[in-house]
Amino acid sequence: MEYLRPARYADLELLARTGREDPVRAFFLDFRGDLDPAPFSRLRGAFREELLKGSSSRLLVVRAASSPLPEAFVLVSFFEGIEGDCFLKALPCMENLETKALLDGLKELLNYIFLSRNRHRAMAQFLGCEEPLLGLFEKLGFIQEGRRREEVYARGRFYDVIPLSMTQSRFLAQNS
């Protein structure tokens, strides 16, 4: 069953309106500083095209086969200059992160990263306020690599950033 698909133009509008709090959306899209919601509705131009059709970065949608609505957005960036690495960011669209579609969609993505693309390491990072998402990635086999205190400022406050990673060898050992 397929849980992962490339994002479409209509998904960007949904991403702009998702119910997640602004600092989390801002971090997902790499916005910095005090934000108003306007930038989320103006995902256009080169950035928009890169998200939808890019070769180095790609926005994906995780959803259940029975639902047209996404359960999460995942941004995947493959580094051409750093051989073997890729970077993930995830933005859930709902509170329940333990759904079969979300877990299977992320596992499908990790299979693609480590088996099809033969990448050595997958890295991710999240805001400290996203503890349930951190737990989900740890359940998939990612390991926390520290905590960068008050690195991101959004909506009048600072947030910690927590980096995680998983190597191909760890992924293969877990899934053999």
Average pLDDT on 37-63 reads 56
Encoded amino acid at 29, one letter: L
Average pLDDT on 28-41 reads 44
Residue-level pLDDT at 105: 86
**For residue 153, pLDDT beyond 70:** yes
Beta bridge partners of 72: 62, 92
Report CA 104 to chain centroid distance, whole Å: 14
Other beta carbons within 10 angstroms of residue 17's beta carbon come to 12
Mean pLDDT of the residues in the chain: 76
pLDDT digits (tens, 9 = 90+) for 110-152: 998 898 888 899 999 888 888 888 888 999 999 999 999 998 8
Q: Specify the pTM.
A: 0.77
Q: Per-domain residue ranges for the chain?
A: 4-174
Distance CA 121, CA 112 (A): 12
Structural tokens at position 94: 């709902």
* CATH class (in words) of the domain with range 4-174: alpha beta
Beta strands 85-92; 72-78: pairing state: antiparallel
